[in-house]
Structure 1
Amino acid sequence: MADPTSSSLFDTPRIWNAAPTEAFAAWLVSDAFAVNRRGERQQLRDSSVRVYRAMFSKFAREVLVPEDGRPPKQLPAVSADDIRRFLDTNALTKGIRHRYIKLLERTFDHLASIGMMEANPARGLAIRQPTRSGAGNEKTMWLSQAQQDAVLAALPSGEGWKAQRSRAMIAAVLGGGLKVSEVIRLPINSVGARQEDGSLLLDVYPAGAGRMHRTRVSAQVAGILAQWRATREGLPLPGKLLFPAGPTGGGLHPATVYRQVKAVLAEAGIPEDLVKRRGARTLRNSFAIRQLETGAAPALVGEYLGHRADRSTRYYTDLLPKNRKG
């Protein structure tokens, strides 16, 4: 069997034209791709490999073999207009759009290096292409203390177990600073004991680029989470997920979490013109800002958030003076 990283699979125009997704997959795990800006070998995480492969496969399906009546084309014939059409049709968020452009820039640079094309059609799109709103970077969103209190008052209050689950899940994100990818994977045994100050420790397992860490769920919502754990342990549902999607015990879809958070923000009366981003990320940002406002050390806040690098936490500390002024 041929070595999947063999250069013959990704460094000739013939392979890229005949089987672009296979050539990309081989290039992705080769030494030629995983090199940082200093020219050093850098091993990609398995999660990154999966994401990049999915991104390029989607691009290849929609651009090289379009379903809107346009004729199929090969990579050397792809233009900047083709890339813009792909990005606009999929209505990507600014972050995902930028990630796509950088990946395509790198891919077409490689194709140019093997003599497959003269110009890079993705080059410069990240600079010239505006955001979907037509404005510059949207500001990072977080809730004021009053808005946060309003959200907690608006949490689902039904008697059914799904309403109780959603109540505890949103409370855990707001009170513990969790990502969506983390909260939907929490096992039942991740919920620790209540602390003397009323808070609650929560073990958070790796998800995507994250790492194993422990956060402290604020005393304001710890009771909600502790009560839900007791309820969940008594439910005749299979699996070990703390927040199952339904009777089969399967995991929640991230889109479901987004819809539920959006609904709670609306129920709380949080104006959309003030808080434009209506997903769980805004709740995570609120947790980070609140911790720093109350004097928690940045290193501790970084641990609660599961940051791998100090610069990720400094992003929030840089925002804090602005928050105090306004």
Structure 2
Amino acid sequence: MTKNLTLFDIGAADLEASLNRAFEAWVVHRANSQSRAKSERPLSDESVNVYREMWQAFAKFCAERNLDLRDIAVSDLEVFLTVRGTGPDPEHPRQTTRGGNLSARYANRYLVLVQKVTQFQARVDGEETNRAAALLRERPEYRYAEAADKDPPPEYLDEMQARLLIAYLTRAPQPDSNEKMTWKTVRDRTAVALMLGAGLAPGDVRSLKLDGVITVGGRRAGVPWKLALEGNGNSPARETPVADWAGRQLAFWLRIRAQQGIPGDYLFPSTMNGTQWSHTRCFEASRDVLEGAKLGKDAGGLFKLRHTFALRQLRKGKSEEDVARWLGLLDINSMTRYRRIVIGYQDVV
């Protein structure tokens, strides 16, 4: 049965489309910007995808309440952040929340996005900028959200957690279980293996190409030992080592991928057609792997893996400069957060 659209439905759809066009115009503006200011530089594809998902949730919220950018009040933003934090919203799953609330850092980044797009659209329309987002960001919990003392030490896996996860990622299905080992199961587990065993971020996993897997020159024939990643707006092109166990898991995935005849350049495609894994689907699949390994699916779970890799390398005596380069960090000062941690676990990953 076809739904009968009311005038409100049509109006809301038009407003939502208009708000999304404002975002896309802002992205194009950033792409064409010649400014050296960090706030005006072109955005990486990964950043655009993340911001687009964030903005679409905001546009939907505004359209449902008939709020144009010029109409938004501080109270509207407060309600939105509350709704966004308490979910669940299957189309836009929470990714950086703690309990039932958005973290101050994530909420502030949402407000920054709203502020920037609103400022851009006001300039285009020749109007005064709505300062609701800027006013809300002046509150202490948001003003200091990015301060160094608000940046907690990174969460990481302890020795037992790391061993249990590795065992889960690399084991075959148990004969007495109903577990199915599909090609997507192997893909998902291998993706998580590279987060833990090579320090990749979810965005790295999504963008990694087949020709970035380096096998030649390794200790074991046919087993990848290094990855080459393309640069983007947030990090330079780089190479990063792969732990032995993760390399073996990657070799297994490459065999499965070849057997399935999956085309395309992406190492971890979304479908049998070889299309790129979406930000949301990659996050959900990786999170479910952690849940299957009994590690939970909390918001910081995926980056715990990357932090564990970094700590392992520092534990082995690798320099901060090397580890920063492997992680794709442009600022060596980002490594200071690891110095606060007394590394007491063994070299297990």
Is 2:291 the counterpart of 1:292? Answer: no
Q: Choose the corresponding residue for 1:201, options 219, 226, 238.
A: 226
Query: Does structure 1 retain, via aligned residues, the 8 Å contact 2:199–2:309?
Result: yes
The percent of aligned pairs where both chains have the same amino acid is 24
Compute the displacement of 1:287 (Å). 0.7
**Aligned residue in 2 for 1:157:** 172
Query: Does structure 2 retain, via aligned residues, the 8 Å contact 1:181–1:207?
Result: no
Output one character per residue of 1:251-289: Cα deviation in whole Å (capped at 9) or x when no partner: 33333333343344334343x5xx944532121111111
> Scaled by the length of structure 2, what TM-score is found?
0.67
2 CA distance for matches of 1:240 and 1:35?
A: 33
1 CA distance for matches of 2:269 and 2:283?
A: 15
Compute the displacement of 1:294 (Å). 1.6
**Aligned residue in 2 for 1:281:** 303
1 CA distance for matches of 2:289 and 2:50?
A: 30
Distance change >3 Å, CA 220–CA 319, structure 1 → 2:
farther
Larger Rg: 1
Moved more, 52-61 or 97-106: 52-61
Distance change >3 Å, CA 121–CA 26, structure 1 → 2:
closer
Query: Does structure 2 retain, via aligned residues, the 8 Å contact 1:213–1:306?
Result: yes
**Aligned residue in 2 for 1:29:** 29
Is 2:157 the counterpart of 1:143? Answer: yes
2:340 aligned partner, one-letter code: L
2 CA distance for matches of 1:80 and 1:33?
A: 32
**Aligned residue in 2 for 1:127:** 139
Moved more, 169-178 or 93-102: 93-102
Q: Choose the corresponding residue for 1:98, options 108, 112, 117.
A: 108
Q: Choose the corresponding residue for 1:189, options 211, 226, 231.
A: 211
Compute the displacement of 1:61 (Å). 5.2
Q: Choose the corresponding residue for 2:291, options 260, 263, 266.
A: 266
2 CA distance for matches of 1:251 and 1:75?
A: 32
Compute the displacement of 1:53 (Å). 7.1
**Aligned residue in 1 for 2:329:** 307
**Aligned residue in 1 for 2:250:** 225
2 CA distance for matches of 1:33 and 1:87?
A: 33
Secondary structure, counterpart of 2:196 in structure 1? helix
Distance change >3 Å, CA 108–CA 277, structure 1 → 2:
closer
1 CA distance for matches of 2:324 and 2:286?
A: 23
| Number of aligned positions between the proteins | 289
**Aligned residue in 2 for 1:45:** 43
Note the residue ranges of structure 1 that are not aligned, 5 or more in a row: 1-18
1 CA distance for matches of 2:191 and 2:165?
A: 13
2:324 aligned partner, one-letter code: G
1 CA distance for matches of 2:41 and 2:185?
A: 43
Output one character per residue of 1:189-230: Cα deviation in whole Å (capped at 9) or x when no partner: 221125349870111123562332111001232221123223
**Aligned residue in 1 for 2:341:** 320
Query: Does structure 2 retain, via aligned residues, the 8 Å contact 1:98–1:126?
Result: no
Q: How does 1:60-99 map to 2 (within 5 A)?
A: 60=59, 62-63=61-62, 65=63, 67=64, 70=65, 72-91=66-85, 93=96, 94=103, 95-99=105-109
1:153 aligned partner, one-letter code: A
Moved more, 156-165 or 296-305: 156-165
Compute the displacement of 1:234 (Å). 3.7
Aligned CA RMSD, in angstroms, stands at 3.9
Moved more, 194-203 or 230-239: 194-203
Compute the displacement of 1:300 (Å). 0.7
2:190 aligned partner, one-letter code: A
1 CA distance for matches of 2:306 and 2:328?
A: 12
**Aligned residue in 2 for 1:5:** none
> Scaled by the length of structure 1, what TM-score is found?
0.71
